[in-house]
Amino acid sequence: MVISPELKYAFVSTVKGGTNSIYQILTEHYQGQRYGEFHCQDVSEIPEAWCLFTTCRNPYSRAVSIWWSTCMRGKDRYYFRQMCPNPDSFEVFAEWAALMQSQLHRMSEPQQQLLMTQSERHGEIDFDLYLKTENLLSGFLQLPFLDSELPEFPVLNPTRNQRDTVAEYMTGRAIRAVQNWMQPDFEKYGYSLDFQGETPIETSAA
């Protein structure tokens, strides 16, 4: 989490939702300071008058990002390659992740954080604003503490440009698997169940 007592805001991160980039922007340009652990979501001490915000991401692109970063980068930090029947197949991984939703309590916290839906992570927190990662700059302009100029967002995703586009993985089977896995997110954040391609993430004010 990043907070700013001066500007009266608190940002709660979403796993695979632009966390590193937003942390850098807030700490370098908007008097932000780290609060709690990296993905802390305890807002019990945050004053009600503060602006409380987070991010959300299209479930299709988020699912591919989770799979690629955990199974396809040459390391098995979260042991998903050992747990998934065929970790080299996005279809199988998404089906496995959907089945694991009822078993998350048996996993370590880092594993849970990656596989749980955004809806589950955000829970009952009463956010003032959800910033969609696909329209990050436009969303940022809605924040009450911004000045007239918005700095360029750093692109800190290590898997960016390492994999194919999301559309390359979205077979009919994969689409159904992601829908089963992240069904609550489509409704809560207003994303279409119809796969419509990967929307480029805004990275500058231009």
Q: pLDDT digit string (tens) for 62-77? A: 999 999 999 998 889 8
The pLDDT assigned to 146 comes to 85
pLDDT band at 204 (very low <50, low <70, confident <90, very high): very low
Stretch among 114-118, 129-133, 139-143, 157-161 having the lowest mean pLDDT: 157-161
Residue 104 has pLDDT above 50, yes or no: yes
Is residue 100 in a domain?
A: yes
Let me know if residue 129 belongs to a domain: yes
Q: Residue 164 — very low, low, confident or very high, per pLDDT cuts 50/70/90?
A: confident
Closest by CA to 78, choosing from 107, 103, 121, 101, is 107
Query: How much of the chain exceeds pLDDT 70, in percent?
Result: 91
Given a cut of 90, whether residue 147 has pLDDT beyond it is no
Query: Higher-confidence residue: 205 or 1?
Result: 1
56, β-bridge pairs? 132
Asked whether the beta carbons of 85 and 96 are under 8 A apart, the reply is yes
What's residue 137's pLDDT? Answer: 83
CB 41 within 8 A of CB 3: no
Asked if the structure places residue 126 within a domain, the reply is yes
Is 132 a member of any domain? yes
Q: Is the pLDDT of residue 186 over 70?
A: yes
Report how far residue 109's alpha carbon sits from residue 24's, in angstroms, rounded to the nearest whole number: 24
In a domain, 194, yes or no: no
pTM score: 0.90
Is the pLDDT at 178 greater than 80? The verdict is yes
Q: Is residue 155 part of a domain?
A: yes
How many domains would you assign to the chain?
A: 1
Tell me, yes or no, whether 206 lies in a domain: no
Domain encompassing residue 33: 2-189
- Quick one: pLDDT at residue 148? 64
